[in-house]
A and B are shown apart, each in its own frame.
Chain A
């Protein structure tokens, strides 16, 4: 795979129609996530030629004659409340056409697109009506797990820890990946024990998630968006709003049970004061307190569930995190605190797209297959594999914001 320096931006220039061959959706309560594959402009490389650049892949395959598509996986998100933008985008990019040109399939059935998340049900009619697309519903948990497994196994430097402003990528040995706890923080939070490909169980969850943060945040501050709220929280001080151990103990620690005076005894517990109304509190402080409350709670419940099943690794995903340092730090601290350092919180670069990636992976990928079949080997491959070259330099440091892409190659296995 050829990832050229600096070529990490998505190639989504509307003026320069891209060949889009495959699309999958994850429509959640707050956000709709898209993953789609675009072929590199230089099209197909000859199988052998393409692979010749990637010895590692060749080795692992042990074959030389596999056709390879070079291209990229693109990631795009929309607010679910603005589902029309999403529809427009798909329409403008002609994503739905996929690899099957309508004229090439005269009289064929409407195009099916893999989709997961509650919106796959809720907006099925809308997609049909507006785009003529049938949403082929994939189970949400299946997709989350498949997406996480794919990213953890295939994408280099996908996972990292974050504590005290220190970000550290974790090299996961594919053979030592399972079992782990996957915590997907969307509007709500799902906690899934993953034991292998397709082997998982939803063990817990909590309704206090990203939706709670934004929902309460919107009510308490004048913020209009998640990012604005996060931005605010960065500047806030939760001491103004939270009741700390020190507030109760007159500035002292409650050392007997290991609570420092700065530990939060009660989130928002200081807001019970008679003398101050909502307007008297800084929105920054409120946002900060809210974020800590929710992150800490998720971290704690995650730890308790990891403990239950003896899971050492907890991967946090979902759009709540957004690489926000404070959020990640709070989650890490909570896991570290409650597990007494035994469990580790880890984060995923593509945190928000687990479901969409999984949904993408779950499909038969007809478009891609046809592409490969038509243009390369003249026969339809039975299975496709994706690869991201691990010898590449790391992607720009943690600044993956969603609307980006990663280069990858597709080959028939």
Chain B
């Protein structure tokens, strides 16, 4: 019986694999594989620009845009286990290890094969000064940093993982197929295990471990994280996590406390300048070691989890126990202060078995955390260090641990010193070891070049790896090797454990002792899944938008999601919208069984993300609405839904383009002043077409696009809820006697496909062109909802240009009509005096935009711009409503959400916002 069941399962498995392979084949044709590469210049035609392989659309006829974004990739390393580093194949600078007493931490770099592609917007780039060799060269390759950990006692799992991903080899060419290896690779490693296991690595993987000093690595890792990652550090007091942004100039000196098996305390004065000033042997190993002896726990995480249900009062002797329930107020000790850890057990006649393991675990945890906090504070005091950063794998994002440490520091310093924690707490050493490769280039990375993603497949791609080593592949083995993470995810079925939070517990945790008010520890979880640390995408092409008035003060999100009501509202919205989205996504992939399966998996994964965030809003770092909306798009991409709204967008574009000529005729019949008003009205009215808005989706069922557009236009009555139109008009048309100079270049951040772009923004762009202003349409690099993308725009413009000379000339000059071959080089010359219409990608795939991280071509285009128009809810309301710029800015949007309308403008749904902020 059992055997037959097994067989059946195997069969299913094989079917699954075959389907997966099909999927992979599709993928290899359709998915985006983009990485910027730095190619040595000086070879004539070769550009110093990001090159990209982008074939999002299966029809090859569409204009190809450069969407050089490493961060947008799904989880594909499983399919391409070998990482190519053509320029550094002898460096092997893609894996570094920190082998500690309890855990092995691994950081590895992955990059995809570089596929060169003709860039059809060469002329756009030239005009933007983008390809003339004046771009600074990128110090590093784009790619991703992955963070993985293993238990040291299960070092074989780690070796298998490295082997199966061929992380110890330089590239494809060195991958062996016959089990024979002649590599003499070198892997940077730190931690005591780098010495202890050197022979094992040599024997099993044929690589030498190049030992890096542990302290050097810790410090290098911490410095990198604190400088390069936004909101890496946070405080944790009384269950409240608060992210801290530290200015790189104001970082040093600080105390770094690394809590591994033991504890090291290092005074850091700068890059490479540090001193180990103290430490304690009472650390994570003590907790786990004593915990193992005292409880039946099988793992550190299990022990940590137990502590959440514990009450230390049954183990610890409190001040109140000694003083008969009274405080010892003279010296500031409350009755609940722990006088003696485990002291209560000495007067009781109970055996170990009679104590609750939960209580033991909590008491241990408090004892050790508090002790570390106290010793750390005393050392900080010695050297007058105000900031103490705690890292290391003991903490594991565990709320109670952090609260206890924070409390100790706060208590002993009278609030003068602050305990801070690091999101990548456990990976400092491994990251530092990675940095020790000569050509890593990470030092030169800036905050804005890093994007962190939280792929749901991470636990499946990261932690355990199954199947035999690649060395002796046979057909059967090949099958099991190629089980993708998604397959594993699907098989997991309903038990997607990673994001499921611990069940809320009774209120005893945190009572008693150290006067910590009841900690929220019970709602937080131990980080068994490693999900709190995402995959770090290194995108050297990203830049800070140069027109931001003050990048340091800039905060993209308008809505503060740290307000729990707000968070709940938006999570609910996303949750409710989910089934509709899944339908669209599945339909966009032809509604196949495979698509359905993936749609189902996506729904589960995204729901799990939402559930986790509801429990622990800062699980993924500082959370804003923009991140939330982007996460949805990323999650779709992770499950290989490249463009869920593809067909809807096409349909709406076609319908809108059909009525555009009539609209243009109508507009041309007006005088300048009423035309401008009509154009702005048109933008606001057309902005109603938004598949991100529930209310609007309902509307669509009531009429055709054009009917809705007309109706919406008719309702446009000034004054709008925010109405700076007169100021804008004055700037555009000039006061009566004072003709203003026209803007030189306008950047138009566009929103949705269909009427929004075709009937709203394009006519406005046309008007600006007519007035002699260069227009750059800024659109998404990747699909998000029904937003128009940079690579879709040239087609739309080409179609619109058929009916409009202004657009046609401008598009020709802007190099957008290359594909259409309308013009010969002669006609180009004729039009060289016209102003161009250009398209740039914004560098993101989200309905919102964080202007701290935009594509380099947008940054280049912004240089000469003196007018910004941000359109739509995502880019002008959810984000950037309060952003200040170095040039004139117009923010246009229709508020398609009642709550948002009330919150932002004390108005109602469908209210309009026309906010003009001239440069001061």
Contact = CB atoms under 8 A, between A and B. Distances in A.
Interface in A171-217: 186-188, 202, 204, 206-212, 214-216
B261 A266 contact: yes
Nearest to A293: B282
Nearest to A308: B381
A397 interface: no
A308 B381 CA distance: 8
Contacts of A119: 322
A118 B328 contact: yes
B339 interface: yes
Contact of A122 (B280, B324, B331): B324
Contact of B101 (A81, A219, A247): A247
Contact of A301 (B101, B343, B374): B374
Interface in A287-301: 293, 296-297, 300-301
B103 to A, nearest CB: 11
Contacts of B382: 304, 307-308
Interface string A269-300: 11111100010010000100000010011001
A119 B324 CA distance: 7
B342 interface: yes
A297 B340 contact: no
Interface stretch (B313-321, B463-471, B652-660, B831-839): B313-321
Interface string A254-278: 1011000001111111111110001
Contacts of A242: 281
Given A29-B317, A248-B261, A272-B285, A121 B343 contact: no
Interface residues of A, number: 71
A139 B102 contact: no
Interface in B325-348: 326, 328, 330-331, 337-347
A207 B340 contact: yes
Interface string B259-297: 011100000000000001010111111101110111000
Contact of B286 (A211, A266, A274): A266
Contacts of A186: 340
Interface of A: 28-30, 79-81, 117-119, 121-124, 139-141, 186-188, 202, 204, 206-212, 214-216, 218-220, 241-243, 245, 247-250, 252, 254, 256-257, 263-274, 278, 281, 286, 293, 296-297, 300-301, 304-305, 307-308, 338
Contact of B324 (A121, A216, A271, A308): A121
Given A248-B100, A256-B215, A264-B262, 9 more contacts: A118-B328, A245-B192, A248-B193, A265-B101, A265-B192, A267-B281, A267-B282, A268-B286, A297-B371
Nearest to A249: B192
Nearest to A245: B192
Contact of A256 (B213, B261, B286): B213
A263 B263 CA distance: 13
B881 to A, nearest CB: 50
Nearest to A248: B192
Contacts of B370: 207
B205 interface: no
Contact of A187 (B282, B317, B326, B330): B317
B355 A215 contact: no
Contacts of A123: 324
A267 B342 contact: no
**3 A-B pairs with the lowest CB-CB distances in the bound complex, closest first:** A211-B343, A248-B192, A118-B322
B153 interface: yes
27 contacts: A30-B346, A118-B321, A121-B323, A122-B322, A122-B323, A122-B324, A187-B346, A188-B343, A208-B367, A211-B317, A215-B315, A219-B345, A220-B293, A220-B352, A254-B214, A256-B213, A263-B281, A266-B261, A266-B285, A268-B286, A269-B102, A269-B285, A272-B292, A293-B286, A297-B280, A300-B375, A304-B378
Contact of B341 (A208, A263, A296): A208
Contacts of B288: 269, 271-272
Interface in B345-359: 345-347, 352, 355
B219 to A, nearest CB: 12
A269 to B, nearest CB: 3
A407 B901 CA distance: 88
B293 A243 contact: no
A369 B322 CA distance: 32
A339 to B, nearest CB: 12
Contacts of A267: 281-283, 285-286, 289
Nearest to B319: A118
A172 B375 CA distance: 30
Given A266-B283, A301-B378, A304-B382, A249 B196 contact: yes
A243 B292 CA distance: 14
B191 interface: yes
Interface in B193-209: 193, 195-196, 198
Contacts of A250: 192, 195-196, 198
A206 B196 contact: no
A301 B375 CA distance: 7
B258 interface: no
- How extensive is the interface on chain B, given as a class? 35 or more
B379 interface: yes
A269 B371 contact: no
Given A140-B328, A207-B316, A286-B293, A212 B342 contact: yes
B343 A215 contact: yes
A119 B325 CA distance: 11
B412 interface: yes
Contacts of A273: 153
Contact of A141 (B286, B331, B412): B331
B101 A243 contact: yes
A219 B261 contact: no
A116 B347 CA distance: 20
B643 to A, nearest CB: 49
Contacts of A272: 102, 153, 285, 288-289, 292, 300
Interface in B128-153: 153
B285 to A, nearest CB: 3
Given A304-B375, A307-B382, A218 B276 contact: no
Contacts of B195: 249-250, 252
Contacts of B282: 208, 267, 293, 297
Contact of A296 (B192, B281, B293, B328): B281
A206 B358 CA distance: 23
Nearest to A117: B322
Contacts of A296: 281
A305 B374 CA distance: 11
Nearest to B213: A256
B487 to A, nearest CB: 30
B321 A29 contact: yes
A121 B329 CA distance: 13
A71 to B, nearest CB: 32
A219 B352 contact: yes
A249 B195 CA distance: 6
B345 A188 contact: no
A202 B346 contact: no
A118 B374 contact: no
A241 B289 CA distance: 8
Nearest to B295: A278
A219 B316 CA distance: 13
A297 B280 CA distance: 7
B340 A268 contact: no
Contacts of A274: 153
A329 B682 CA distance: 85
Contacts of B262: 243, 264-266, 269
A268 B371 CA distance: 16
A187 B340 contact: yes
A356 B91 CA distance: 70
A216 B290 contact: yes
Contacts of A301: 374-375, 378
Contact of B367 (A207, A247, A249, A286): A207
Contacts of B102: 269, 272
Given A266-B262, A267-B285, A278 B293 contact: yes
